[in-house]
Amino acid sequence: MIPKSQESSQLDAQGNLKHFLTIEGLSRELLVEILDKAEGFVGVARQAVKKVPLCRGKVIANLFFETSTRTRTTFELAAKRLSADVLNLNISTSATAKGETLLDTLRNLEAMHVDMFVVRHASSGTAHFMARHANPHVSIVNAGDGRHSHPTQAMLDMFTIRRHKGDFSSLSVAIVGDIMHSRVARSQMLALKTLGVPDVRIIAPRTLMPARIEEAFGVRVYHDLTEGIRDADVVIMLRIQRERMNSALLPSEHEYFHLYGLTEARLTAARPDVTVMHPGPINRGIEMDSQVADGERSVILEQVSNGIAVRMAVMSMCIGTQNLRAQSIGESHA
């Protein structure tokens, strides 16, 4: 559990975004601001020169202690499109792998005048720890920490939903899969409720459903896939980690797909214009079949593209707060 005091540390004294660590504690207005800013960045990819100068002169370091291709690459592209200098730290050959502490790593990289760290780590709370110990001018963006939070994934999902469905206030959204271990699901539930979605449903085997989650997040719990997605506007399938298939938490891959795999036949229970999403990477034949994944109602590849715009929005907002702080300091010394 991350202390509540850590949630408020994402904002500066004026309420601007300083770090982006979790959806929890952020207002609806701030989430909408992120979505609106991302909308303005979508067109950058269609420009002859795919860059804007908002982070020119800034250094952004990708610090990934967990492997990731999609998330790390989209963060790198987002930073470069903002005209930042990007440092990708290879953790497997870094001093951290040789025993250097996380705090020492932070201090050494700060000495290289890094302005922002994008951090992915297997331990919950790592991004909060770095934000608490970072120099005042440094921003931290959480790219996934343990089972706690993946806020930019949730926001790119919200951005995708808004582009297809418009208003959040009348939607039914179903999240299907390993709810217990998913930082993505936790962030999605928080974002959906904050943005005013009245009907958020979570669907999972009993072994993968956290206790008392209805009270904690204000969601509805289902253990039957067809009932859970009935008349849903959006269905979000979560990745099942294959390593859990051999544990007591899950049946075999075949049995899981039989009960919880999304097929065209099952999808008929949802609304005809249902939007199908997945944070990736997909395990085809486990979470969904290829007909659904590649079908006309799937927006999975669009989610990847939208991730660049949303991460540009988040990083530019944090860098903008840095610039405001620097301006304030300069004026006080004038």
Residue 139's Cβ-count burial label (10 Å; 0-12, 13-18, 19+) is buried
Give the span between the Cα atoms of 218 and 68, in whole angstroms.
31
Confirm if 38 and 159 have CB atoms less than 8 A apart.
yes
Q: Which residues are annotated as a binding site for L-aspartate?
A: 98, 183, 239
Q: Which residue has the tokens 């930082």?
A: 183
- Six-digit token string for 146: 């343990």
Residues near 92 by Cβ (< 8 Å), separated by ≥ 6?
none
What residues contact 84, with CB distance under 8 A and at least 6 apart?
55, 56, 58, 59, 60, 115, 116, 315, 319
Report the binding-site residues for carbamoyl phosphate: 70-71, 120, 150, 153, 280-281
What distance in Å separates the CA atoms of residue 279 and residue 3, rounded to the nearest whole number? Answer: 27
Cis peptide before 198 (omega within 30 of 0): no
CB 186 within 8 A of CB 236: no
Report the C-alpha gap between 19 and 317 in whole angstroms.
9
The two tokens of residue 21 are: 């660590």
Residue 227 to residue 116: CA distance in whole angstroms: 44
End-to-end C-alpha distance for the chain, whole angstroms: 43
Residue 77 near residue 308, CB atoms below 8 Å: yes
Binding-site residues from annotation:
70-71, 98, 120, 150, 153, 183, 239, 280-281
276 vs 186: CA distance, rounded Å:
18
Q: What span, in angstroms and rounded, lies between the C-alpha atoms of 281 and 240?
A: 10
DSSP one-letter code for 188: H
